[in-house]
Amino acid sequence: MDRLAALQLFLRTVECGTISGAGRALGLSSTAASRALQELEAALGLRLLDRTTRHASPTEAGRHLHRRLTPLLGELDQALRHAADLHGQPAGVLRVVARRSYALRHVVPRIASFRAAHPRVEIDLALTETTGLTPTQGTDLVIRLGLPAEKSFIGHKLAEDRRILCAAPGYLDRHGAPAAPEAVRDHACLTYAREAEPAICVFRTGEGLREFEVAGPLRSNSGEALRQAALDGLGLALLPEWMVGEDVAAGRLVACLALVPGWPLGYQQAIYAVHARAEFVPAKITAFVEHLRSPHAD
């Protein structure tokens, strides 16, 4: 392995915390990655990593090298990508980390049409329900709730933040629809099992926020699980319009309290595609974001 590739492997190892994980990210076996790092240390005459069977952490010399190399290799990588994209043709591997529930409904179905338009781009897609993600070295694009606070990132809105309080027609036939905000207390409510997601009992009125304690048969950290439970008639759910809008339009779910002042509040943050702010943004990132934002991309 050449010196530059070995240094990139070293940086990835520090970030991953394991040699095997860094090797997988770069298409190397654990044995090949470990050997390359040993050869790098021998060539430099320095021990860069302290190793255990499950973890690798940088030594003092390794931490110093990591601090110095990170911006240098980042600039080199950007320069090489700039040169490769001078012809304006998106190419290379696009590494995306996306919110799982949104990606399954609005990203994965668009990959085929994107690939048809840009066959030189390969997509490495990782799905997560983790919030607050930002692009790091090795990740080109993050699809997440809300914009990060850091000014070093740029976000492109993919979906609005409006949420719909809804239930299946069968559930409403059995229990009726809530006629006022306080009536949600008398219903089975399907809620998020996350501190970052308020329950569906929060309403904004002229007097400020009003909260109603609710209970129900299911709490989950997955919006898709709550959607399916709502479709199955288990109760009321407050879910993003991008998740249940088609269900409401098709009559599989019914919007509740739509005309009541103080629309029920949820975790009101839009979905954004976020990438690092840079003078040059690779064509593969720009093309993918534009494809996701296009209403005719399916």
**CA geometry: angle at 69 spanning 276 and 41, to 5°?**
140
- What residue spans define the domains of the chain? 3-84, 92-160+270-293, 163-255
Q: For the whole model, what pTM was predicted?
A: 0.64
Comparing 135-139, 145-149, 188-192, 224-228, which segment has the lowest mean pLDDT? Answer: 135-139
Question: Looking at residues 158-166, what average pLDDT do you find?
Answer: 87
pLDDT for the residue numbered 264? 59
Record: fold of 163-255: D-Maltodextrin-Binding Protein; domain 2 (3.40.190)
pLDDT of 188: 94
pLDDT at 211: 74
- Decide if 3-84 and 163-255 have a common fold: no
CATH number of 3-84: 1.10.10.10
Bridge partners for 51 per DSSP? 56
Task: Express each pLDDT in 77-101 by its tens digit.
Answer: 777 666 665 556 788 899 999 999 8
Mean pLDDT (the chain) is 85
CB burial string 204-235: b at 16+ within 10 A, e below: eeeeeeeebebebebbbeebbbbbebbbebbb
Q: What confidence tens digit (pLDDT) does each residue in 123-135 have? A: 999 998 777 778 8
Q: Is the pLDDT of residue 35 over 80?
A: yes
For residues 16-33, average pLDDT = 86
Taking the CB of residue 120, how many other CB atoms lie within 10 A of it? 11
* 136: nearest Cα among 271, 15, 10: 15
pLDDT for position 6: 86
Q: Quick one: CA dihedral 250, 254, 260, 263, positive or negative?
A: negative
β-pairing, 215-220 vs 163-167, is unpaired
Is residue 9 within 8 A of residue 131, CB to CB? The reply is no
Residue 229: predicted pLDDT: 97
196 C-beta neighbours (distance < 10 Å), count: 11
Span of 51-55, 79-83, 160-164, 224-228 with lowest mean pLDDT: 79-83
Residue-level pLDDT at 157: 95
Q: With the C-alpha atoms ordered 238, 239, 240, 244, is the resulting torsion angle positive or negative?
A: negative
**CB-side neighbour CA atoms (13 Å) of 251:** 0
Residue 196 has pLDDT above 60, yes or no: no
Report the DSSP beta bridge partners of residue 238: 165
Give the model's pLDDT for residue 161: 80
Residue 169 in this model has a pLDDT that exceeds 90 = yes
User: Would you identify the CATH topology of the domain 92-160+270-293?
Assistant: D-Maltodextrin-Binding Protein; domain 2 (3.40.190)
Tens-digit pLDDT profile for residues 116-161: 999 999 999 999 877 777 887 678 999 998 888 888 899 999 998 8
* pLDDT band at residue 291 under the 50/70/90 scheme: very high
